[in-house]
Amino acid sequence: MPAADGYQLVGWLFLRGLALIYLAAFASLALQITALAGEQGIYPIAEQLAVASERYGNAWLWHYPSLFWIAAGDTALLAVAWGGCALALLLLIGVRERLMLVLLYLGYLSLYHAGQAFTSFQWDYLLLETGFLAIFLPGGSRLVIWLLRWVLFKLRFLSGLAKVLSGDPRWRDLTAVEHYFETQPLPHIGAWLAHQLPDWLLRIGTAGTLFVELIVPFFLFLPRRWRFIAAWLTIGWQLLIIATSNHNWLNLLTILLCLLLFDDRAVQRLMPTRLIPRLRAASSLRASASTPVAVATLIVALVTVPAGLVSAAEMISGRPIPMLRHWNDKLESFRVANRYHVFPTMDSERIAIQIEVWREGSDWVPLDFRYAPDRPDQAPAFIVPHQPRFDWLLWFVPRGPVFLDWFERFLNRLLTGSPSVTALLEHPPFNDGPPQRARVRVWRYRFTTGEERSESSAWRRRQALGPFYPFYRS
């Protein structure tokens, strides 16, 4: 098996970048994990463990792999989240890289399961799959580089394929991007600015998205020059997305994976000459791969690559493959062979909810969240790489009953005065205790035009659509 010679600098830079992304992901969760899974949170971790133990019997650890079987509660959740930040910093400075990578993967996998609906997103899958493969990078073979390129290919191509297979006419008639900036979950000011662009330019943007996701990924498997083209086109598109969207660290991780399309000969041209020998010496990728690591990597490839192919085949056919689905299900709890489908459909309008609360002697008061764009005069904030899980998931509530379980749990916690859940709000509605009742209304939002913004200073216009009947009491 060919050794990792030619990727020592690339590997060193990749692990440093991965450390920073792990740091952002753990820190973001540390700020909100007790609200999501704490003792007074929406999905208490102790409750989750009891359900998993009862449901899975002796196979509980396989179906719910988590460090929280050792200890559960607020202290354990915060210890894993802030501990992950510390481990990321140790990886950043090069301390026991493989050990740090193993612990980071286990820590994030534990938080992923603890977060339930709040952590079941594409970026969580991508970080876990990338983080798992990175364990085999120190002292590993060039096969690790190819496996990480395979992850990048899946992310890009399957996301494009999902758009085509979804049947959404907005992708077919090239109008998807005309709606995207206004209807995405957490837009920032760049989204408002991009929404003002002419329709013909936004249609070019839609066509460009399909090209970059459906055609460019195949360049990854072509000779060196084509890989570089794929890298720069993908990086450029990710930077455009960052300039117009709050997608946490997803785009940063995608850019980091593009680094592996280059080699040392390309990278060292951009680095100070005196620094190159020092970084080569510090790199954990050696000219000759460690035999145990090379063998382990081959086993991982023989398991994860076919699993990815099965998932892709199921996406194309629209139905599971019975004989093979069983084996894929066994990997799902560990998120090491994922299917990706980022934004396969696009809404044509922004429908959002507003929660109102009441106490005796007061009027109904609307809740004000930290990041959800609920006030027309609230400037859309740039928050990359933070991922406010609750505010993001609020966007899904009007879209179907599957999202109502966690929302009902949130309302119950709010009415009982859970301090960790109340901390999700920008301003508590009442200073002397929890509200007594809650109700939900539905609104249609749209961005203002440049002229409207000049006249009113508002970023959005909104229209009342009426009560959200599953949670409305007059």
pLDDT at 314: 85
User: Both tokens of residue 155?
Assistant: 């992310």
- Is the dihedral angle over the CA atoms 5, 2, 101, 157 positive or is it negative? positive
- Amino acid (1-letter code) at residue 411: L
**Phi-psi domain of 73 (left: phi exceeds 0; alpha: psi -120 through 50; beta: other):** left
- CA 196 from chain centre, in angstroms, equals 27
Residue 198 burial class via C-beta count within 10 angstroms: exposed 0-12, middle 13-18, buried 19 and up: exposed
Helix (H, G, I), strand (E, B) or coil at 134: helix
CA distances from 324 to 308, 327, 330, 331, 411 (A): 11, 6, 10, 12, 41
Residue 152 tokens, joined: 């990048």
pLDDT, tens digit, for every residue of 25-76? 999 999 999 999 999 999 999 999 999 999 999 899 999 999 999 999 999 9
Q: What pLDDT is attached to residue 338?
A: 92
Q: What is the pLDDT of residue 32?
A: 97
3-state SS, 105-133, equals HHHHHHHHHHHHHHHCCHHHHHHHHHHHH
> Tokens at residue 102, please?
């193993």
Q: Which residues of the chain have pLDDT under 70?
A: 1-5, 281-289, 472-474
> To the nearest 10°, the Cα dihedral for 427, 428, 432, 434?
170
Dihedral sign, Cα of residue 41, residue 111, residue 386, residue 119: negative
| Per-residue pLDDT, 284 | 63
User: Who's near 396: CB < 8 A, 6+ residues apart?
Assistant: 185, 403
Run of H or E residues at 82: helix 74-92
Residue length of the chain: 474
Residue 68 Cα to chain centre, angstroms: 22
Map residue 153 onto helix, strand or coil.
Answer: helix
- Yes or no: say if 471 and 414 are a contact pair by the CB < 8 Å rule: no
* Bridge partners for 447 per DSSP: 460
